[in-house]
Amino acid sequence: MPKVKVPRKNVSLDMTAMCDVAFLLLTFFILTTSFKPEEPVVVDTPTSVSETKLPDKNILLISIDKGGRIFFSVDEPETRKAALQSMSAKYGVKFTDDESNEFANLPSIGLPIQNLKEYLSLSTFDRTKYVQPGIPVDSLNNQLSDWVLYSRSVNNRLTIAIKGDQESNYEISSKVISCLQDQNINKFHFVTGLEANPNKKKKN
């Protein structure tokens, strides 16, 4: 008796629901992800075995590149705007509301307050080509000290960190530390790269 052949049927899966889930997840990650802003200077930090981590917010960061230029940044936009208003009043440099809002969105600055209006007037592309000379920290023109003072007067919860290039001049780093100590700031962090601790026993 001949065998009865059962016709084969193609199995089809409805992928509509799966595609909807994929697009929802993609949209969620795009909207919730915050990208790290591009820094205007590259700092090659020295390494250490310290595993102390900085907090996620309320950070005042002072960066020193290998050429000795000093950059200043605060992660809270409102704190930056308030500090700019105080700097504006002291140095007599007026900023419009648009310039203040633009400044609040900058990742960091490394130039005298007198050159800030010119920098803010540039396009985003032109700012990448602008060579910032660094914030003055001289005894007769210590603008870094004022940025720190006015930022902390707005937000006294700021954690201060120094990110210095391993090839930077020690004299510049000493001036930054003295600037902090003059304001009775004796507790601050040094940002370093993490290396393996030779004293830590390896687990089998």
Report the alpha-carbon distance of residue 168 to residue 175 in Å, rounded: 12
* Residue 186, strand partner residues: none
pLDDT of residue 30: 74
The fraction of the chain above a pLDDT of 70, given in percent, is: 74
For residues 54 and 155, the model is more confident at 155
- Output DSSP code: residue 137: B
DSSP string of 152-193, one letter each residue:
HHH-TTPEEEEEE-TTS-HHHHHHHHHHHHTTT----EE--E
pLDDT attached to residue 35: 52
pLDDT of residue 110: 94
DSSP designation for 133: -
> Above 90 in pLDDT, residue 193?
no
How confident is the model over 140-168, as pLDDT tens digits?
A: 899 999 999 999 999 999 999 999 888 88
pLDDT at position 45 is 61
All residues at 6 or more sequence positions from 114 whose CB lies less than 8 Å from its CB, including other chains: 91, 93
Position 123 pLDDT exceeds 60: yes
DSSP string, 13-77: ---HHHHHHHHHHHHHHHHH--PPPPPSS---PPEES------SSSEEEEEE-TT--EEEEES-H
Q: 34 pLDDT exceeds 90?
A: no
For residue 55, name the pLDDT band (cuts at 50, 70, 90): confident
Between 168 and 65, the higher pLDDT residue: 65
Residue in 202, 203, 201, 199 with CA at minimum distance from that of residue 49: 199
